[in-house]
Amino acid sequence: MDRQAGNSVLVAVEGGAILAVGSVTDEGEITLNYVSPDARFGGVSRAMLGALESRARERGNCRCTLVSTETARRFYHAAGYREDGPPQGKFGTAGSYRMSKRLAVIHLGQVREELPAGFETLRAEARAEGYAFVERLANDWASQAIRFDREGEVLFAAYADDEFAAVGGLTIDPALPGTLRMRRFYVREQFRRCGIGRRLAKALLERAAAAGRPVTVNAGPGSAPFWQSLGFIPDARDGHTHLFASGVD
Q: What is the dihedral of CA 116, 120, 125, 126, to 10 degrees?
A: 70
Compute φ and ψ for 123, nearest 5 degrees.
-60, -45
- pLDDT score, position 86: 85
- pLDDT score, position 95: 74
- pLDDT score, position 4: 57
Reading phi first (left if > 0) and then psi (alpha if -120 to 50, else beta), residue 157 is in beta
pLDDT tens profile 74-110: 999 999 999 998 887 655 555 799 999 999 889 999 9
Residue 243 contacts residue 206 (beta carbons within 8 Å): no
- pLDDT score, position 62: 87
Q: What is the dihedral of CA 83, 163, 31, 93, to 10 degrees?
A: -20
- pLDDT score, position 57: 87
For the chain, the farthest-separated pair of C-alpha atoms sits apart, in whole angstroms, at 64
- pLDDT score, position 89: 67
**How many angstroms separate the CA atoms of 198 and 225, rounded?**
12
Q: Where do you find CATH 3.40.630.30 in the chain?
A: 2-102, 106-244
- pLDDT score, position 202: 94
Q: Which CATH number fits domain 2-102: 3.40.630.30, 3.40.50.2300, 3.40.50.880, 1.10.10.60?
A: 3.40.630.30
**CATH level 2 (architecture), domain 106-244:** 3-Layer(aba) Sandwich (3.40)
- pLDDT score, position 249: 52
How distant is the alpha carbon of residue 14 from its chain centre? 19
pTM: 0.75
- pLDDT score, position 1: 52
**How many angstroms separate the CA atoms of 125 and 123, rounded?**
6
Q: Each residue's pLDDT tens digit in the chain (249 positions)?
A: 555 568 999 999 888 899 999 999 999 999 999 999 988 888 899 889 989 998 998 888 889 999 999 999 999 999 999 999 888 765 555 579 999 999 988 999 999 999 999 999 999 999 999 999 999 999 999 999 999 999 999 999 999 999 999 999 999 999 999 999 999 999 999 888 778 998 999 999 999 999 999 999 999 998 998 999 899 999 999 999 999 986 655
